[in-house]
Amino acid sequence: MMNVDKAKKRISKRVKRGFKGYPQVSLDYFGDTTEVATEVVITFLSEEGAEPQTQSFSSEKDAREDEAIQSVLLKIIERAEANTVIENPVVHKFPQE
């Protein structure tokens, strides 16, 4: 498994490229507060207007600092051969039940 900083750097590099067409992967973080993301939702779009495929991963700690999760996200991005990677830097609060 690669270390968390390396995985984050590789994801960030792809995010900085901006929109380069499809396939597109987006990452959204969620948590009980806007400080700690305990869940990440990865959304895959094969083409414009396609049905989005989502997968989510939960972490005991901050998912953005979770080595296993960041490595898996990078693997998914690479396997999907994503041309565009969007990462929402804001942690969304879980809807209150």
For the chain, give every domain's residue range. Answer: 4-91
pTM: 0.91
Q: 77, 19, 90: which is closest to 43 by C-alpha?
A: 77
| Cα dihedral 44/87/28/82 (nearest 10) | 10
Average pLDDT of the chain is 95
Check pLDDT > 90 for residue 97: no
pLDDT of residue 64: 96
Q: Given pLDDT bands bounded at 50, 70 and 90, which one contains residue 1?
A: low
Quick check: 70 and 7 in contact, CB under 8 A? yes
Q: CB-based burial of residue 3 (10 Å sphere; 0-12 exposed, 13-18 middle, 19+ buried)?
A: exposed
Predicted confidence (pLDDT) per residue in 32-75, tens digit:
999 999 999 999 999 999 999 999 999 999 999 999 999 999 99
